[in-house]
Structure 1
Amino acid sequence: MIDNSKSKIAVIGSGSWATAMIKMLTDSTLSKEIFWWVRKPEDVTFIRTYKHNPSYLSAVEVKVQPENISSDVREIVSQCDIVVLNTPAAYLKSALEGLIASDFKDKTVVSAIKGIIPDENQIVGEYLRSQYDIPLEKIVVIGGPCHAEEVAQEKLSYLTFASSTKHEANAVAALFASRYINTIISDDVIGIEYGAVLKNIYALAGGICHGLGYGDNFQAVLISNAIREMDYFVEALAPQHRDIKTSAYLGDLLVTAYSQFSRNRTFGNMIGKGYTVQSAQLEMNMVAEGYYASACIQSVIQRFELRMPICNMVFQVLYNHQSASAEVTKLAKDFT
């Protein structure tokens, strides 16, 4: 059970979303000590010296004690009772390299990752349970809608905290709440994790269509079909009572599909305009989770024999090198 009066929190990751979470935690009114794992030693030195992340959200002032910032993940995790994972899903294993199950014993582990671990093809909660023997009741999942860039500007945003244990979700949520962060509690751990994975694929689909020249009218139909497809998927894998129209599902989908800050939409837009996957990745210099998620979700679709036309379109374009124009034309005939 978390005691918020003396929480020590580790944030694992140093990208824009991790930097935004550092800001949220330091701006929250609850007293806590924050530790930050930053991948590159040279970035650690820079942040300690200048109190800014040189690579992401550089305008954000970092209010973490310099001695609490390190590139030694074991040192950071060992000092904390709450560990917040905030790397791209594809890089989580390398970030946690060297850690074993005993390093997480009795700790609450929070996933702010919106992707699937590629080799294992598992959502983060499943990976944590199988790899590190972390009990389900000690895992909290954070859902959106919330873009790092708007957190940096202190624009009112909402986060959903999902756990099988209501107390755990409430305790973690309280650590993030502030005048510009409102929190919502849920018990749909698996549904919110999969929803966060799928919305990146759907945002990528929206970007592809935009790059091809489709307008707002078509995008509205695409996203309305996407939320039904998401509902069908999460109900097939994790049946329980949920309202797919709430912010953790529909809200997160909408902001990722439409926002100027959405890297998945940007990535898809480049693909629609004719970029290769490799050239789009190089030009963005940021991870679009939807790219990796597409292959992982396709495997799940095949295993459970699900009908997911939007996800299938994205997979065909990204991995089977099919014509984006031809695939979207076929998809459009399927819409209702």
Structure 2
Amino acid sequence: MDKTISILGGGSWGTALAVLLAKKGTHVDLWVRNKDKEIDINRTRENIKYLPGIVLPNNINITSDIEKTIYNKDIILLAIPTHGIRDTLKLIKDKLKRNQIIVNVAKGIEIESLKRISDVVSEIIPSSRYAILSGPSHAEEVAKDIPTAVVVASKSKEVAEYVQEFFMTPKFRVYTNPDVIGVELGGSLKNVIALGAGISDGLGYGDNTKAALMNRGIIEIARLGEKMGANEMTFAGLSGIGDLIVTCTSMHSRNRRAGIKIGEGYSMEEAVKSVGMVVEGIKTSKSAYKLAEQFNVEMPIIEEIYGVLYENKDVKNSVINLMLRDKTHEIEDIVENEISTW
């Protein structure tokens, strides 16, 4: 019997994954929020707003009926913004069957509760079989069959390997990882650093500045991740440094594009409006700032980005604040280990 999937969310990433699987021969139900969008995409066979220029294969069924789309599917994939996941889960929780797997591809942290998506899923659907698919993967490139590598994380090896096989193609390589916490945090927090990289670009700074932001940014992410129970090695992988590189350097990145506008002097609201799509790093910067406080973790880059977005700090002063922080060692563990001889 063929494996089946329902993708909840007709944005760029949900649509790209639908195209990927459809080309593999999988029948895909792609849920969108309103009837007009359903009619428009079914008529044109193109998601003009979010993924223009990509023809949707005929084995993708666009629907606005969420109950029908999740019925008897092997996988329910969450491709909606983080702030909408809780309400969507409440909508479908009584309609799911026990063995259905929930795969999340959203990259964010719930701003009110500071919960990761896996925590929200466990809270609302305790019996769920959960996995997160993450990594350096622009929707625009995946839909065009440009070779891409990602990672799927689950507490269950069986679930991780099932999802790996489901999505694997000659152009889409999937690795597995048991570290759900690390993969979720890496995918979420890199968006905040990408905002910073964009701000740096908007200010007219160069490669040196961006390299420093990316390098020190992943150290901050790993520092928080370890405190929250993640494996530090995960942040050296696809959902850590891999995703950070692609999001900080590409113009496909909504977070970088929004950051560029902020660096050029636009307000946060104007920057988001110019992008025209959800910029997850805006909300995640607030979540990251609060998590740093909660876990007593030093995260100066996150703190300054939060200050620019939510406290009207001057961007150039924030750069000076970072550059003139108290002198310190690059890697404290090395110094501690070598202290007797250095």
Query: Would the alpha carbon gap of residues 102 and 45 (structure 1) be closer, same or farther in structure 2, given more than 3 Å must change?
Result: closer
What is the aligned partner in structure 2 of residue 82 from structure 1? 75
What is the aligned partner in structure 1 of residue 19 from structure 2? 23
Indicate whether 1:319 and 2:297 are aligned. no
Indicate whether 1:62 and 2:53 are aligned. no
Name which of 216, 230, 233 aligns with 1:242.
Answer: 233
What is the aligned partner in structure 1 of residue 337 from structure 2? none
Indicate whether 1:184 and 2:180 are aligned. no
Unmatched 5+ stretches in structure 1: none
Unmatched 5+ stretches in structure 2: 331-342
Query: Would the alpha carbon gap of residues 119 and 9 (structure 1) be closer, same or farther in structure 2, given more than 3 Å must change?
Result: same
Do the aligned partners of 2:12 and 2:50 also contact (CA within 8 Å) in 1? Answer: yes
Do the aligned partners of 2:222 and 2:232 also contact (CA within 8 Å) in 1? Answer: no
Give the letter aligned to residue 141 of structure 1: I
Paired residue secondary structure (2:149):
strand
Write the deviation string for residues 142-163 of structure 1: whole angstroms up to 9, x where unpaired: 1111101111221111111111
Bigger drift between 68-77 and 249-258 goes to: 68-77
Indicate whether 1:264 and 2:255 are aligned. yes
Report how many aligned residue pairs link the two structures: 327
For the residues of structure 1 that align with 2:230 and 2:236, how far apart are their CA atoms?
16
Aligned-residue offset at 1:183: 1.2
Write the deviation string for residues 27-78 of structure 1: whole angstroms up to 9, x where unpaired: 22xx543211011211111222222113221222222547x42112122112
What is the aligned partner in structure 2 of residue 35 from structure 1? 29
Indicate whether 1:124 and 2:108 are aligned. no
What is the aligned partner in structure 1 of residue 270 from structure 2? 279
What is the aligned partner in structure 2 of residue 224 from structure 1? 215
Paired residue secondary structure (1:122):
coil
Indicate whether 1:12 and 2:5 are aligned. no
For the residues of structure 1 that align with 2:93 and 2:159, how far apart are their CA atoms?
23
Query: Would the alpha carbon gap of residues 223 and 238 (structure 1) be closer, same or farther in structure 2, given more than 3 Å must change?
Result: same
Paired residue secondary structure (2:50):
coil
Question: What percentage of aligned pairs have identical amino acids?
Answer: 30
Do the aligned partners of 2:32 and 2:62 also contact (CA within 8 Å) in 1? Answer: yes
Give the letter aligned to residue 155 of structure 1: I
Name which of 48, 51, 56 aligns with 2:42.
Answer: 48
Write the deviation string for residues 253-287 of structure 1: whole angstroms up to 9, x where unpaired: 00001111111011111111111111112222111
Paired residue secondary structure (1:146):
coil
What is the aligned partner in structure 2 of residue 333 from structure 1? 324
Do the aligned partners of 2:147 and 2:172 also contact (CA within 8 Å) in 1? Answer: yes
Do the aligned partners of 1:40 and 1:71 also contact (CA within 8 Å) in 2? Answer: yes
For the residues of structure 2 that align with 1:107 and 1:181, how far apart are their CA atoms?
23
For the residues of structure 1 that align with 2:64 and 2:109, how far apart are their CA atoms?
24
What is the aligned partner in structure 2 of residue 294 from structure 1? 285
CA RMSD, 1 decimal:
1.8
For the residues of structure 1 that align with 2:144 and 2:214, how far apart are their CA atoms?
27
What is the aligned partner in structure 2 of residue 154 from structure 1? 145
Give the letter aligned to residue 308 of structure 1: M
Q: TM-score, normalised by structure 1?
A: 0.92
For the residues of structure 2 that align with 1:323 and 1:14, how far apart are their CA atoms?
37
Do the aligned partners of 2:181 and 2:230 also contact (CA within 8 Å) in 1? Answer: no
Query: Would the alpha carbon gap of residues 243 and 13 (structure 1) be closer, same or farther in structure 2, given more than 3 Å must change?
Result: closer
What is the aligned partner in structure 1 of residue 206 from structure 2? 215
Aligned-residue offset at 1:133: 1.6
For the residues of structure 2 that align with 1:116 and 1:88, how far apart are their CA atoms?
10
Paired residue secondary structure (1:116):
coil
Write the deviation string for residues 155-188 of structure 1: whole angstroms up to 9, x where unpaired: 1111111111222111112121112111111111
Do the aligned partners of 2:198 and 2:256 also contact (CA within 8 Å) in 1? Answer: yes
What is the aligned partner in structure 1 of residue 158 from structure 2? 167
What is the aligned partner in structure 2 of residue 103 from structure 1? 96
For the residues of structure 1 that align with 2:234 and 2:72, how far apart are their CA atoms?
38
Paired residue secondary structure (1:100):
helix
Query: Would the alpha carbon gap of residues 230 and 279 (structure 1) be closer, same or farther in structure 2, given more than 3 Å must change?
Result: same
Write the deviation string for residues 113-144 of structure 1: whole angstroms up to 9, x where unpaired: 11122333211111000122244xx1111111
Aligned-residue offset at 1:82: 0.8
Aligned-residue offset at 1:218: 1.4
For the residues of structure 2 that align with 1:239 and 1:59, how far apart are their CA atoms?
39
Give the letter aligned to residue 59 of structure 1: G
Query: Would the alpha carbon gap of residues 94 and 247 (structure 1) be closer, same or farther in structure 2, given more than 3 Å must change?
Result: same
Query: Would the alpha carbon gap of residues 239 and 192 (structure 1) be closer, same or farther in structure 2, given more than 3 Å must change?
Result: closer
Mapping of residues 131-142 of structure 1, within 5 Å: 131-135=124-128, 138-142=129-133
Do the aligned partners of 2:134 and 2:150 also contact (CA within 8 Å) in 1? Answer: yes
For the residues of structure 2 that align with 1:196 and 1:152, how far apart are their CA atoms?
20
